[in-house]
Structure 1
Amino acid sequence: MSNTAVPTRTETAGHGTASAWLVDATRLVLGAGLLTLLLMTFSPFAVSFEGSRDAGDIVNQVGYSALAAVALAGHLMFTGRAVALSLLRPAWLLMAAWLVVSALFALSPQNALRTAAFTILAMIAVTGALSLPRDARSFRICLTIAALAVLGLSYVGIVAMPGVAIHDGGGTEPQHAGLWRGIYSHKNVAGAVMGALFFCGLYLFRSGQRWTGLLIAGLSVLFVLKTGSKTATALLPAVACLVIGLRLFGGRLLPAIAVGGAVAAMALLTLGTVLSPTLDSILQAVLPGTTFTGRTDLWRFALELFQGREWTGFGLNSFWQTNVAYGAERNFELAWDTRSSPNGHNGFLDVALATGWPGLCLAVLVLVLLPLRDYVRIGNAPEDQRLADMFLMILAFLLLNSFLESFLFERANPIWMILWMAVAGLRLLSCHRLQR
């Protein structure tokens, strides 16, 4: 997908030979396999983690290490030098380095370093899924295989294994009874992934694969509705209209500005209301009684504990469900006991908790500002524009979701894999012409 007009390491002998066909087929199979496994995860239908938090999940560790190894081997064998160098973006390298540095200040550095390492390995695997397909058509095939695998297995689960593919209302969330989650652990994860797959279907439809695109988009929308995710349901049409609609009037600059404005507004109206009484009063005037299902209490609790660790953070995987949160004194001014929450239900807040303010600034640069600039710089070829639109829609949809859910830089999380695919995809498109 990311090749330029310059021949890659395997293309110098001519493209019409049997060996060249075998190389292309190998790249296609590896790319499709990487993308499918990244979206499906190594533990489909697992509704809870039974292992030790400190020891981690050995299946995920071995699995994502293997995917990263395949991706690195693919880069060495197939990826052009210019494309490979464009993946070594200084801001990305600095972000990865800061994940490691912040882990050194964690209460359990070994756990935080392991989490940072496997997060980086998974991100490398995503770059392989983007770079291995030889051209746009090959990438569309990989995307189709991965999307249909996720959708197919999820729908099979709904029919054949409803006990694990549908929330049964047990545990601490009886209100979720009957809501679909498919192969994923929670309906919110399923809603975000299926929402992203809707944009993949839309891209395939716009690229000429009408029936396949309609099938993927239709199955994805139905699944999102069945998850009961109000955020995903509302954002799907809004993001599609925002990007494609504004592209018709203002080229690529207007959609980029609109997405940036929407992300900033969402930040102010969610986490901003906890930091600023003025913003909170504005929100309450528009939507009286809004607490984002108790999330505002959770954010206040986290920000109180964050004081004193603003520059280093606590390290990845080293705040929630650890003694840092469990051992804190309960704040009885809050409506509920927030200490047992699995995460902060705000991706950018959790990035700050893990890496401090410097890490948060780097994350905003890497995930928001640079991708929007990349989108504006992409060439005018129709295929490039359609793929760029898909990546931007996925980016906008998941960034807006991240203000109410937590998945940024979270190892083995398929939502993070898709978001990083959009970020890396926009980078590659801005640097190179897409081979047709």
Structure 2
Amino acid sequence: MRHLSTLRLGPTRPAAALGAASDAAPWWNAAEGRALCTALAALILTLLLVTFEPYQAVFVGPAGSGNITNQLGYGGLGLAALLIHLCITPRPVAMRLLRPAWVVMALILLLSSTQSIWPDASFRAVVFSLAAMLAMTGALCLVPDERAFRFALTVTALVVLGLSYAGIVLMPSAAIHNEALEAANIGLWRGIYSHKNVAGPVMAALCFAGLYLVRSGQWVTGVAIALLSAFFVLKTGSKTTLGLLPLVAGLIFAGRVFGGRRLPVIVLGLVLAGFALMTLGTVLSPVLYDLLQWAVPGTTFTGRLDLWRFAIHALGPQAWTGTGFEAFWSTPVVRHAEPPFGSSWDPRGIVNAHNGYLDLAIALGWPGLGFGIVVLVILPLVDFVRIGSQGPAATRVADFFLMVLAFTLLNAFLESFLFARGNPVWMTTWLAVAGLHLLPKGRTVA
């Protein structure tokens, strides 16, 4: 009989898992209570990954600012998560959600709206982004154990895959690219999402979920989810995702086999540094640009280098303070700009920098980007190492979170989604960041 290990969130509670069982809630241990909490977790996770606008035919960017559907949806989920933490989440776990770095990051995001030429719109976007992040922590804190987490993850994956494949068959005009403005994408799959570059990374995360389920003994559903997700990635035509998916899976699994927890973190750190130098670094340093052209002549990352140069130049004196959350690309300085001669991109029609780290710097300034890297990169990797020897269940969950985190952090060098509430790729990133923090650290009490 397969053994199901129990994971703990709180440092001293013997019965809480990825979620939050509480001695103060006597109904929790009842089968009905556990089933209800697991179902609610699955519902929240599904809504965050399906989004409130599936089959959106036109890509309008990750934020959806001013959209009443998004505002009601994410605001409602955030309120529900707040009630969950007040009424269900045990106090030790709730206090862990108040991680000082997370609180400071939230304050930086909120204060960035003061730098925007439309402070009300930026402030609203930040609030609903934080609400979506809070909702994800609510889903994590609802599941009573690792088995329940797997159930919620399975339900979410099957719903996303089911709706996406149903769209391909029943509504191809909504689920397959056919826009003349992006002729190169015609015929590529996007499923329920706005763009193939959103669908591809989400499907990659679901593929990692399938691998996690297989390792946990759920062979049928795990293999099905992994194969269906991988095939969908292939049909999106997303070259970045196709390259990163096997790279990340191999990196994490090989590192775990040969070096425990530290080697994967060290290798991932080096890979992230290399990606940073060879992407954004090449527009900041002529030496790095020459090195890139020597190694791969003619590389422009599909014209992104021109876009990054324009953004950094246009940022000008606000490089250290930022231009406000989700504000820069709709400002007059961009909308009325003269495209650089010979540029591959016309910035006047762009909604983001196609580089999540650069967009974070644009919104928050270079210091804000630095702190964002601490929150999204350094602290989660430290959390992964600190998990230590917690048994096979904790190892499998931690590896899943690290694969998702590694993939999205690398993907962010070529796409923008960091802290974007309406972007399910960001939701998978935050799932990994929050999950690694909430997993128990140190010795597990039997």
Q: TM-score band, normalised by the shorter chain?
A: over 0.9
Instruction: Measure, in 2, the Cα distance between the counterparts of 1:195 and 1:9.
Output: 31
| Bigger Cα displacement from structure 2, 74-83 vs 364-373 | 74-83
State the match for 2:133 in structure 1: 123
Q: Which runs of 5+ in 2 are unaligned?
A: 1-6
State the match for 2:239 in structure 1: 230
Contact 1:374/1:430 (<8 A) preserved:
no
Contact 1:346/1:403 (<8 A) preserved:
yes
State the match for 2:204 in structure 1: 195
Instruction: Measure, in 1, the Cα distance between the counterparts of 2:65 and 2:248.
Output: 39
TM-superposition CA deviations, 1:1-55 (whole Å, max 9, x none): 75442566754576797xx22221221111011000000000000122789x996
Contact 1:384/1:433 (<8 A) preserved:
no
State the match for 1:33 in structure 2: 43
State the match for 2:158 in structure 1: 148
Residue 379, structure 1, aligned to residue 358, structure 2: no
Residue 272, structure 1, aligned to residue 277, structure 2: no
| Local SS of the residue matching 2:180 | coil
TM-superposition CA deviations, 1:233-286 (whole Å, max 9, x none): 111111111001111111000000111111111111111111111111111111
Aligned residues: 432
Residue 218, structure 1, aligned to residue 227, structure 2: yes
Instruction: Measure, in 1, the Cα distance between the counterparts of 2:444 and 2:403.
Output: 19
Identify the match of residue 68 of structure 1 among 64, 68, 78: 78
Contact 1:34/1:67 (<8 A) preserved:
yes
| Bigger Cα displacement from structure 2, 292-301 vs 304-313 | 304-313
**Per the alignment, do residues 173 and 434 of structure 1 end up closer, same or farther by CA in structure 2, a change over 3 Å counting?**
farther
Residue 388, structure 1, aligned to residue 394, structure 2: no
State the match for 1:251 in structure 2: 260
State the match for 2:66 in structure 1: 56
Instruction: Measure, in 2, the Cα distance between the counterparts of 1:40 and 1:56.
Output: 19
Contact 2:401/2:435 (<8 A) preserved:
yes
TM-superposition CA deviations, 1:344-365 (whole Å, max 9, x none): 0000000000010121011100
Q: Which runs of 5+ in 1 are unaligned?
A: none
Task: Give 1:288-307 correspondences, 5 Å limit.
Answer: 288-307=297-316
CA RMSD of superposed structures (Å): 2.1
Instruction: Measure, in 1, the Cα distance between the counterparts of 2:138 and 2:435.
Output: 11
Aligned amino acid, residue 234 of structure 1? G
Instruction: Measure, in 2, the Cα distance between the counterparts of 1:94 and 1:55.
Output: 23
After TM superposition, the score normalised by the length of structure 1 is 0.95
After TM superposition, the score normalised by the length of structure 2 is 0.93
Contact 1:391/1:425 (<8 A) preserved:
yes
Instruction: Measure, in 2, the Cα distance between the counterparts of 1:309 and 1:160.
Output: 48
State the match for 2:417 in structure 1: 407
Instruction: Measure, in 2, the Cα distance between the counterparts of 1:237 and 1:173.
Output: 27
Contact 1:47/1:164 (<8 A) preserved:
yes
1:334 Cα deviation after fit: 2.8
Aligned amino acid, residue 110 of structure 1? D
Residue 104, structure 1, aligned to residue 117, structure 2: no
Instruction: Measure, in 2, the Cα distance between the counterparts of 1:54 and 1:136.
Output: 34
1:434 Cα deviation after fit: 8.2
Aligned amino acid, residue 186 of structure 2? A
Residue 330, structure 1, aligned to residue 339, structure 2: yes
**Per the alignment, do residues 15 and 110 of structure 1 end up closer, same or farther by CA in structure 2, a change over 3 Å counting?**
closer
Aligned amino acid, residue 204 of structure 1? L
| Local SS of the residue matching 1:308 | helix
Instruction: Measure, in 2, the Cα distance between the counterparts of 1:435 and 1:341.
Output: 52
1:57 Cα deviation after fit: 0.4
Task: Give 1:6-17 correspondences, 5 Å limit.
Answer: 6=14, 10-11=22-23
Contact 2:21/2:144 (<8 A) preserved:
no
State the match for 2:376 in structure 1: 367
**Per the alignment, do residues 433 and 104 of structure 1 end up closer, same or farther by CA in structure 2, a change over 3 Å counting?**
farther
Contact 2:22/2:90 (<8 A) preserved:
no
| Local SS of the residue matching 1:29 | helix
State the match for 1:425 in structure 2: 435
| Bigger Cα displacement from structure 2, 22-31 vs 271-280 | 22-31
Instruction: Measure, in 1, the Cα distance between the counterparts of 2:21 and 2:232.
Output: 42
Residue 263, structure 1, aligned to residue 251, structure 2: no
Task: Give 1:77-88 correspondences, 5 Å limit.
Answer: 77-88=87-98
Residue 315, structure 1, aligned to residue 314, structure 2: no
TM-superposition CA deviations, 1:184-223 (whole Å, max 9, x none): 0001100010001110110011011111110100000000
State the match for 2:101 in structure 1: 91
Q: Percent identity, please.
A: 53
| Local SS of the residue matching 2:388 | coil
Identify the match of residue 339 of structure 1 among 342, 348, 354: 348
Contact 1:409/1:416 (<8 A) preserved:
yes
**Per the alignment, do residues 172 and 115 of structure 1 end up closer, same or farther by CA in structure 2, a change over 3 Å counting?**
same
Residue 23, structure 1, aligned to residue 15, structure 2: no
Contact 1:383/1:434 (<8 A) preserved:
no
